[in-house]
Structures are given as C-alpha cells and as structure tokens.
Structure 1
C-alpha cells in the first residue's frame, strides 16, 4: 500500500473573518500528490473538470474578501478524495468520472481507501467543523462550478442554487435572484440531493439547524480572473441580501 504523507490537506483563508458565513470549496484543487503517480491520468484529464471545479476557488476567495468570511478548501483533487462525499460512497474515490477513466482508483483495497480517508477527508472535516464551532449562528455556503457540457449534453442552467431538507437560504436566494443577476438560475440543477452532492450540508449544517446553501456556477462564466472577481462580488452581495431576508441580525454583510 502506498504510504500517504500529505502536506496540509486543508487550506483556510481569512481564519479571523468576522462574518457568520463559513465558505466551503471542496473541489478547489486539481493537485494529485506525487505518491499517487498522477492516478495514471493524462495531463489533460488532470486539468479537466473531472479533477476539480475550475474557477470555484477564485470565486470563493473573492467572496471571502467581500464578506469578511472564513473559507475552508481542500488542497487535493476530488479524484484523490472528494471531500463532498462520505467514505462509503463509491465516488469518493471514483474509478471513472464522466468520460475519464481513473486507473489509480481501480480496484482500491479497503486499506488504500482508509489511507486516503485518513489523509484527506478526516482532516478536512475536522477543520471545517472547528471553524463552524467558532460561530454562534454559522451560515454554511459551499461554492462549486460545473461543466457546460456533460456526457455530450449542453446545460442551459448558469447558476444552480442547491439545498437538501433545509430550503430557507435557497428559497431566499431564488426569490432575490433577479435583483442580482440576469443569469439563468435554477433550483437543484444541474445536481440535487438525489445525486449525493449535499454531503457537506448534511454533515455540517442540517444537524445544527444552520442556514445553508450549495452554489454551482457554470465554469465558462468564471474562466478568467475578471469574471471570477465579478462573480464573487455578485454572489457575495446576493448571499448577504438573501440572509437579510431571513434574519435582521446583519450577520452577513459585504465589506468594501
């Protein structure tokens, strides 16, 4: 079994942020640790949307600045371990992602899966839980991007507002969407809880009754630094406005 001795598997931006918002970017990186030999993937596959959420980290970092909020991100590719999946999920370490076979994930023993879980998933979960525990009334917002074409099918949706059983923040964002963006915004699209994508919300928001939402941005809309900054600004203002529709405590505000 390959011995995994990772560098810090979690990145925390703005740890002293004063906002009640806790931002999360589980698919921030396409990094595959050297010990895993690139998982047998081509360079193109390692840079593709299968390996990470292009543009999502930059958007999340801009939101962190505008909201003065902490941001917790994974530093490894979701093909190494998808931190938005529990260890029991096959796609936590997928043998195939869309059209990409992942040779380094084929036939993993339980010991190998456990090693990755211990190296990447558990530190991420622990770090995120610690940041949430600092807050009196945390608001969990996860930021993702998605590919415009999936299995050959074009996707019309531009921004997805996703939720699990708690719809409060998602409802408010959908109600206020037109005031912030002309993009096509849809509920639980292109994914929904039936696809297993709300793991972070279920682990860290629902048990405590914390406001939460998962945001998906089509990655062609955030392909450049300028569009990433603009999207981060817009979503930060949108989240703040939406939270204000639910609570008047001013827990989430944009800063200069």
Structure 2
C-alpha cells in the first residue's frame, strides 16, 4: 500500500473521471458471437446508458482528465478485477483461452493499466487523487423499482471518501431538493470495481475513489426537468471542489 512516503500532506489534487461502461460497441472480430444478443446489447446489461454523456459534462466543467471505454461490458467488463468470475459475460466466458487472452490484451489491460498508471504516478508525486467513476442504473430491475435518483458509492471505513460524499450529497440536494440521493446504493461501494481495486493499492489520504450512479430515467429521456437534474449534479461537484480549495 502506498503512502505519502515522507509524511508530508499532499498539496495538490488530481481529478480523474472514468467511464468503464460507456458504450455497447462490439468489435467486428467478435460480432458473430452476438448475433442473437442485439436486444441485450441495448439494455442495461450491455452498457450504462447516458453515463458517457454525464462523464463528458463533468469534465467540461471541472479540471479533470477523462478515461472512457465504449466497448460493451458483455465482451469484457472493465469494472471487474483480473480473475473475477464476472470478468467475462455468459456470451464470452466459454470462448477459448487464446481468444479471451486477445480480448484482455486489446481492450481490458490497456484501459485498466492506463488508469492505474495515472493514479500511481500522481500518488508518487504526493498528489491527492480524486477518482470519480461514472455509471448509470436501470430504473427497474427484475420488476422492482429502484428508490433513488442518485447514488454515491464509497468505502465507509475511509473517512475522506465518507466526508466528501456527505458534502456532495448536501450540495446535490441544495441544487435539486426533490431528488433522492442515497449512499452506497444501488450497490455497495466496497464491492469489486475499479475504485475498490485501486483502494487496495493506495492510502486513503492520497486516493479517494467515488462511484457516481445516476438513475437512467434522468439521462436517456430528454426533458427540462431531467436536463436540470443533470446540470445540478454537475454543478454540485464543482461547488464541492471549489469549497475544498478554500
């Protein structure tokens, strides 16, 4: 686990925005495996609808670097750790080892290693990294309605992440008081993902990994209210970051 090294508190912050499930693209070489899965590719199982647009809006408003992928999670899930049983979907899990290795080398490792390298480089320079991984969730799953508009996922044992999300939640509600904002919903912030993987490598004072989960009903249906919601979430992060610099 990394640390500040010399005990000096970090004086600079680096912000990165990632979007692991930004699209449902299947490279030409593998499309024959998905001929019967067109509907599935267009569903929440194929990608996080609207997440990439939200990530780009965040980057347009704050000083941050964006790392994204438009390859479908049904080919390989970039938000799963190496060796995870959910790394490959039911469609690709049965492929031969040579094919799966090529998928990993062409799509998985370049993305994962790129993000990991940027974080490690910043931490080595004693910078504090704020990593916001942007996702969206389907409003209804298996017949049950999700009971939130926004979810902020973090590790409750990391005080920095917990406090940051508390401030972010308050700021979202000040911008959009009618929203329901929940902590560690619709998933726990400690389950396997890009942020939880990086937490194992870096000290909590230097790395803060937050997952932003937006209800897709606010991202895929254009309306004045939904546009205001998205704008409010983006502005809320700007406000929290500006407050942290004071």
In the TM superposition, residue 215 of structure 1 has moved relative to its aligned partner by: 0.7
Q: Which residue of 2 aligns with 1:15?
A: none
> Is the contact between residue 74 and residue 89 of structure 2 (CA under 8 Å) also seen in structure 1?
yes
Q: Which segment drifts farther, 185-194 or 49-58?
A: 185-194
Hey, what's the Cα distance between the residues in 2 that align with 1:71 and 1:232?
18
- Assess, with a 3 A threshold, how the Cα gap between structure 1 residues 77 and 173 changes in structure 2: closer, same or farther: same
Q: Of 86, 91, 94, which residue of structure 2 is paired with 1:91?
A: 86
Does the aligned pair in 2 maintain the 1:169–1:212 contact within 8 Å? no
Aligned residue for 2:86, secondary structure, equals helix
Contact in 2 for aligned 1:87/1:117 (Cα 8 Å)? no
Task: Classify 1:121/1:168 alpha carbon distance in 2 versus 1 (closer, same or farther; 3 Å).
Answer: farther
Structure 1 window deviating more from structure 2 (177-186 vs 225-234): it is 225-234
Residue in structure 2 matched with residue 201 of structure 1 by the alignment? 195
Partner in structure 1 of residue 20 of structure 2? 26
Aligned to 1:46: 41
CA displacement at 1:45 relative to structure 2:
1.5
Q: Could you report, residue by residue, the CA deviation over 1:193-232 in whole angstroms, capped at 9, with x for unpaired residues?
A: 4643xx2112335614323311111101111466776444
Cα distance 1:231–1:130, how it changes in 2: closer, same or farther (>3 A)? farther
What's 2:108 paired with?
Answer: 121
Q: Does 1:178 align with 2:173?
A: yes
Asked if the contact 2:154–2:190 (Cα under 8 Å) also holds between the matched residues in 1, the reply is: no
Q: Decide whether the 8 Å contact of 1:58 with 1:229 is kept in 2.
A: no
The change in CA–CA distance for 1:38 and 1:232 in structure 2 (over 3 A counts) is farther
Instruction: Determine if contact 2:61/2:238 at 8 Å carries over to the other structure.
Output: no
Q: Give the distance between the partners of 1:171 and 1:221, measured in 2 at CA.
A: 22
Cα distance change of structure 1 residues 205 and 231 upon mapping to structure 2, 3 Å threshold: farther
Alpha carbons of structure 1 residues 22 and 232: separation in structure 2 relative to 1, 3 Å: farther
What secondary structure is seen at the aligned counterpart in 1 of 2:245? coil
Q: 1:105 aligns to what SS in structure 2?
A: coil
> How many residues are matched?
221
Alpha-carbon shift at residue 130 of structure 1 (Å) = 3.8
TM score, norm. by length of structure 2: 0.79
* Structure 2: gaps (5+ residues): 1-12
Gaps of 5+ in 1: 1-18, 96-103, 250-256
Which range moved further: 107-116 or 80-89? 107-116
Shift of 1:46: 1.6
State how far apart, in whole Å, the 1-side matches of 2:223 and 2:118 are: 29
TM-score, L = length of structure 1: 0.76
CA RMSD in angstroms comes to 2.6
Q: Distance in 2 between matches of 1:120 and 1:44?
A: 23
1:66 CA drift (Å): 0.9
For residue 55 of structure 1, report the CA deviation from its aligned partner.
0.4
Segment of structure 1 superposing worse, 184-193 or 167-176: 167-176
How far residue 148 of structure 1 moved from its aligned partner, in angstroms, is 0.8
